[in-house]
A and B are shown apart, each in its own frame.
Chain A
Amino acid sequence: MVAEARPRWGDAEVVAAVDVADGIRRITLRRGAREPRRAPAGSHLDVEVDLGGGRRDVRSYSIVSSDETATEVSLSVLAVADSRGGSRHMHALATGDRLRCTQPLQNFELRPGHARQVLLAGGVGITALLAMGEILARRGADHAFVYAGRTRGAMAYLDDVVERHGDAARIHVDDEGTPLDVPTLVAEIAAHPAGHDTELYMCGPIRLMDAVRRAWADAGLPTHHLRFETFGSSGWFTPEEFEVVVPRLGLTRTVRADSTVLETLAEAGVEMMYDCRKGECGLCQVDVVDVDGHVDHRDVFFSADEHRTTRRMCTCVSRAARGDDRASAGAAVLTLDLP
């Protein structure tokens, strides 16, 4: 985003690794490099992970705390079942292990200048919001901290949130019968005197964020007041393998579950245009001719209406999926036309 977005890679050493909730482990790294200041709230590190069999890849983890020079930073990682192995690698780290990581990268910046801020964390999304909450509490800003999870035991930093934010904290726990009701939350925000000058910062599962987005639009609140961090690999469907067909080029390819349309077509020698590779700029869009299955739109470039009509899609993040009837109907087939 703004300022330095180019990752600089360097070495780091694990100085602590402890469990902080069911399935969530806090990993503290000491980086070789120093920064002029502490890691800003909302920032993350890109970390190189070993997926086994010599395969390396990059995963992002929000920084939950940092020292003054962002030399010692803590992450908190959820163990993801059925994963390619990034979180498994992180959970296996022990004190003294070394790894490669970037400087703090900022994509989710807390900006002063609005009358009120509401933070909304769903599950492990707490990691992206913890430091923001700290700043707002320290400033005595008018804010609320909403934290929703499935069980109390799986909610990392729950006590910290309650203690730090007092009356401003609102905790929702599914298995205690106090789940978050999104329309109610958004209606309350809109009814507040500062409603139309309130920013909502959220990080959590895509379904939660999608519900908030819809309720936000229905309440007539300005869409740019909705700030979110998606933890990347979130769509409506679990990624699965599917076919992509480009009749004009006489081309058919399989898009693996861990690849994208953009990558697959580029590997097939198609000259593709792209820039952000995270579904924001719209440069990688192509025409959708037909889909056998569903198009799983994962971009934020197209509007909800455009997603519904599915005339185009962003190939860097959006996919095709069969969904639940996968076993009976075979892999989804996506037919595209390229500019």
Chain B
Amino acid sequence: MSVLDQHRTTTAKIFPHPLDAWYVAAWDHEVTARKPLARTVAGRPLALFRTPDGRAAALADACWHRLAPLSMGELTPEGGIQCPYHGLRYDASGRCTSMPAQQTVNPSAAVPSYPVVERYRYVWVWVGDAEKADPDLVPDMSQMDSPEWAGDGLLIEAPCNYQLVLDNLMDLTHEEFVHGSSIGQAELSESEFDTTHDGDTVTVSRWMRDIDPPPFWAKNMRDKFPDFTGRVDRWQIIHYRAPSTICIDVGVAKAGTGAPEGDRSQGVNGYVMNTITPETDRSCHYFWAFMRNYRLESQLITTQLRQGVEGVFAEDEAMLTAQQRAIDAHPDYEFYSLNIDAGGMWVRRILEAMLRAEGRLDEPADRPTDLTRAG
């Protein structure tokens, strides 16, 4: 076997997901002390809720007794959850605290509970080895709640393997074809790009100088510079952090005013915040937000940008849905790569290393042929 044969999974169509990682389970406002939220994270169905003092908790969504989903139950005044079926009660650490039909509580009765961190307007959970759940490993998404940035976002339930979304975000040449009416333009494919990687990060940078701004960016420029017309320098700097967070530094500035050299004062700057949580092998929760660092006071702009990007991402969702369907309809076909896939391929390489560290690299997806390329 050649040394080059060690990366068998890099072009897997159904990519397994690491377990030892923080994944976003929900927007902070989705998790409440009124009613549990059911959501599957990395293959683990969870019941998410808050205790009366506001702490978020994540329990396995199956009662110890007969596995009824706890998320269908009620929250208790003591800050726990009651099974909807025979009334067993659990505290936020998953211990059973009451068995209605007896005087004692079986000491073995408990459901798994998962470490939770609340950060950047999201509730993150760790479904892997709890002893490795270091809060410092939460990827930096600080623009989400920094006073220097404003914006909002939504959640897309995407019926595709999470890796397809990462591929989509690591190569933005698709904008010309998928998002032609808003942000796409031919210069995306024509311009050069740089790909670098370091540890668990990958960065893809692309500068397009002296171009006509596409409609989305022309509007943003006029929000900041009402009289602006003319050409711009446009940038897209894609920051990936393992396993599945991608923050894209995007913007345009009046052409020739020094943005590529570091002076962005004559431009508008946004951050497209994406974090993708595998749900099953063929579905994922795609959390996104668009943050901006100008006109922070304008709720109108926040709403317009959220709606605008929602429309753009609906185009991605339609493509990803169709792509997954085509993949499943052609089980014997393989993926082949183009030069534009460099960023996405480094992402896959990093995920491969994480899976190997967990001893799960050879874990078969539901079809073994998905993992290896013929030959």
Report Cα–Cα, A324/B96, bound state, in Å: 39
Do residues B93 and A111 form an inter-chain contact, with CB atoms below 8 A?
yes
Which of A2, A135, A276 interacts with B110 by CB under 8 Å? A2
Do residues B129 and A280 form an inter-chain contact, with CB atoms below 8 A?
no
Cβ proximity bits B106-139 to A, threshold 8 Å, 1 near / 0 not = 1111111101000000000000011100000000
Q: In angstroms, how far is the closest chain A Cβ from the Cβ of B116? A: 10
Do residues B130 and A301 form an inter-chain contact, with CB atoms below 8 A?
no
Q: B60 contacts which chain A residues (CB < 8 A)?
A: 2
Within 8 A of B (CB), among A132-146: 135
Within 8 A of B (CB), among A251-270: none
Interface of A is mostly: loop
Given A224-B97, A301-B102: A1 and B359 interface contact (C-beta under 8 Å): no
Do residues B107 and A112 form an inter-chain contact, with CB atoms below 8 A?
no
Report Cα–Cα, A112/B110, bound state, in Å: 13
**Range for the number of chain B residues in contact with chain A:** 20 to 34
Given A111-B113, A303-B103: A1 and B108 interface contact (C-beta under 8 Å): yes
Q: B115 contacts which chain A residues (CB < 8 A)?
A: 112
Which chain B residue has the least Cβ–Cβ distance from A230? B107
Q: In angstroms, how far is the closest chain B Cβ from the Cβ of A227? A: 7
Cβ of A84 under 8 Å from chain B: no
Within 8 A of B (CB), among A48-80: 69
Report Cα–Cα, A300/B97, bound state, in Å: 14
Which chain B residue has the least Cβ–Cβ distance from A225? B95
Cβ of B360 under 8 Å from chain A: yes
Cβ of B61 under 8 Å from chain A: no
Q: In angstroms, how far is the closest chain A Cβ from the Cβ of B183? A: 43
Cβ of A8 under 8 Å from chain B: no
Which of B91, B112, B358, B360 interacts with A224 by CB under 8 Å? B91
Report Cα–Cα, A37/B127, bound state, in Å: 13
Which of A114, A223, A300 interacts with B93 by CB under 8 Å? A114
Cβ proximity bits A66-107 to B, threshold 8 Å, 1 near / 0 not = 000100000000000000000000000000000000000001
Given A2-B64, A111-B95, A135-B131: A306 and B108 interface contact (C-beta under 8 Å): no
Which of B94, B102, B107, B111 interacts with A227 by CB under 8 Å? B107
Cβ of B314 under 8 Å from chain A: no
Cβ of A176 under 8 Å from chain B: no
Report Cα–Cα, A228/B111, bound state, in Å: 17
Given A2-B112, A111-B110: A302 and B93 interface contact (C-beta under 8 Å): no
Report Cα–Cα, A228/B102, bound state, in Å: 20
Report Cα–Cα, A22/B106, bound state, in Å: 35
Do residues A300 and B106 form an inter-chain contact, with CB atoms below 8 A?
yes
Most buried by B among A34, A109, A228, A303: A109
Within 8 A of B (CB), among A234-255: none
Cβ of A282 under 8 Å from chain B: yes
Do residues A223 and B105 form an inter-chain contact, with CB atoms below 8 A?
yes
Do residues A301 and B106 form an inter-chain contact, with CB atoms below 8 A?
yes
Given A112-B115, A114-B93, A306-B103: A1 and B110 interface contact (C-beta under 8 Å): yes
Cβ proximity bits A33-48 to B, threshold 8 Å, 1 near / 0 not = 0101100000000000
Report Cα–Cα, A260/B358, bound state, in Å: 43
Cβ of A177 under 8 Å from chain B: no
Which of A34, A36, A280 interacts with B106 by CB under 8 Å? A280
Q: A301 contacts which chain B residues (CB < 8 A)?
A: 102, 104, 106
Q: A69 contacts which chain B residues (CB < 8 A)?
A: 359
Q: B351 contacts which chain A residues (CB < 8 A)?
A: none
Q: B109 contacts which chain A residues (CB < 8 A)?
A: 1
Report Cα–Cα, A112/B131, bound state, in Å: 10
Do residues A36 and B359 form an inter-chain contact, with CB atoms below 8 A?
yes
Which chain A residue has the least Cβ–Cβ distance from B105? A224
Do residues A113 and B111 form an inter-chain contact, with CB atoms below 8 A?
no
Cβ of A232 under 8 Å from chain B: no
Cβ of B92 under 8 Å from chain A: yes
Pick 20 A–B contacts, CB within 8 A, sort by A: A1-B110, A2-B111, A2-B112, A3-B112, A34-B359, A36-B358, A37-B129, A109-B110, A112-B115, A113-B57, A113-B91, A135-B131, A224-B95, A224-B96, A224-B105, A227-B107, A276-B108, A300-B107, A301-B102, A302-B104
- Beyond known contacts A111-B110, A276-B108, A281-B106: 16 more, CB 8 A cutoff: A2-B110, A36-B358, A36-B359, A107-B108, A111-B113, A113-B92, A135-B131, A224-B91, A224-B97, A280-B106, A300-B106, A300-B107, A301-B102, A303-B104, A305-B103, A306-B103
Interface residues of B (CB under 8 A from A): 57, 60, 64, 91-97, 102-113, 115, 129-131, 358-360
5 closest pairs, A vs B, by CB? A113-B93, A303-B103, A1-B108, A111-B93, A280-B106
Interface residues of A (CB under 8 A from B): 1-3, 34, 36-37, 69, 107, 109, 111-114, 135, 222-224, 227-228, 276, 280-282, 300-303, 305-306
